[in-house]
Amino acid sequence: MNFFMMKGPVVVVFIGVFLCRVLYAVHEVSVSCMMAYEEGGAPAVYSSLECPQWVFSSKSSENLTRNCNFATNQGHREYQEDRVTCNLDMKLPFSGEGAVGEITVGIAAIFDGHGGEEASEMASTKLSDYFFMHVLFTAYNRALPSNRENHKLHSIKSSQRTPPVIDYLSIHPILKEALLRTIQDIDSEFSKEALDKGYVSGSTATVVLLFNGEFLVANVGDSKALLCSQKFLSHHDDEGASLGEIYAEELTRDHHPDREDEKTRIEAAGGFVSKSSIPRVNGILAVSRAIGDVYLKRYGVTADPEITGWRPFTPENRYLIVASDGVFETLTPQNVCELVHNKASKSSSEPVTASTLPEWIIRHAFRTGSTDNLSVIVISDLRNCTEGRCVGRELNL
């Protein structure tokens, strides 16, 4: 356990630094560091000299996909601009009444880049670290609403070493707010870099959070999140019940420029939507929301995500799938759910593993003529999510 001491007024928060494993530490955070966060978010904390303890090991930025079932393929494109970030066992520290503990949160995201890989690369690299950072500071600010006044008065005592207490009902809004701020920070940071270096690239962002048997989806662009479910059919002639057909529910709505509300925003900002086979913002961009695309931001393109949140899983839910739009060039959401379900249900001499399922979707999309990059995440054991874990399991058939 490490203890970091800084000069000047301090406040104490308990945090655990998530690298490849969880390490616990108690950090004293200077008032200057808190002010840096409030003024500039996660990027400011990482760059501030007042916050040296937040410079994590480089391993914290690695794409931790080892506990997540995903597949990606360059397809027929010259470059691979898709990126995947997924960790279904992220540990986050929270202090409840009478104890300091941790919660397990799953995060699964696909970033579909366009015009270059720079935006999707930065988004996938920064997501986990920035989300972690925002959870910690958001929890602190919610626990101590008078925090700003304390900064002004410099009246925080260094002897105050009780971590802020978060009641359980506050966790869901904290996670949601942290994710929204993370996406905002990534877009802001990339936009500055793009202007400096002349990047024209952008990226979609479809991010799923999982916590305690519930899920939230944040979407920017036209990648999709799907929930594949199977209804229980009751039988009047006996007491049993059987499973019906699999069916797909889209958890996201594509941000295409010709969608009425998107078109209204674009035109109000002085942009226009071209009337071609593929509607485009100012005749250029085929999505109306994206990270990056800095030269079209003034014309109504935004990185503000649409949220589908928090919803509990039910016994009917079988698979939660996140996929880039290349998959849907040739497959419908219903096709995708049926492919996964049929593959998992099919009798075979060899066991079907959960990791096989995203590969199966990509193979079918490629064979049926998709010309785009292809990326898929499949979370297959949703019943385990109610126990705080959503790790894929082997399907014993």
CB atoms inside a 10 Å sphere around CB 315: 10
In 3-state terms the chain splits into helix, strand, coil percentages (rounded to 5) of 35, 30, 35
The answer for residues whose C-beta is within 8 angstroms of residue 357's C-beta and 6 or more apart is: 69, 319, 340, 343, 344, 378, 380
Please say whether the beta carbons of 31 and 10 come within 8 A. Answer: yes
Q: DSSP assignment of 209-240, as one string? A: EEETTEEEEEEESS-EEEEEEEEEEE-SSSS-
In the chain, where the domains are located:
65-147+158-250+305-385
The CATH label, of 3.30.300.30, 3.30.10.20, 3.30.1380.10, 3.60.40.10, for the domain at 65-147+158-250+305-385 is 3.60.40.10
203-232 pLDDT tens trace: 999 999 999 999 999 999 999 999 999 987
Q: What is the pLDDT along the chain (397 residues), one digit of tens a residue?
A: 332 223 333 333 333 333 233 223 334 566 777 788 888 888 888 887 777 555 443 344 344 555 688 999 999 999 999 999 999 988 887 765 555 577 889 999 999 999 999 999 999 999 999 998 898 888 877 776 544 444 443 433 333 344 455 666 788 999 999 999 999 999 999 999 999 999 999 999 999 999 999 999 999 999 999 999 998 776 555 555 456 789 999 999 999 999 999 999 999 999 999 988 899 999 999 999 999 999 999 999 999 999 998 999 999 999 999 999 999 999 999 999 999 998 887 745 455 666 689 999 999 999 999 999 999 999 987 866 655 555 433 332 2
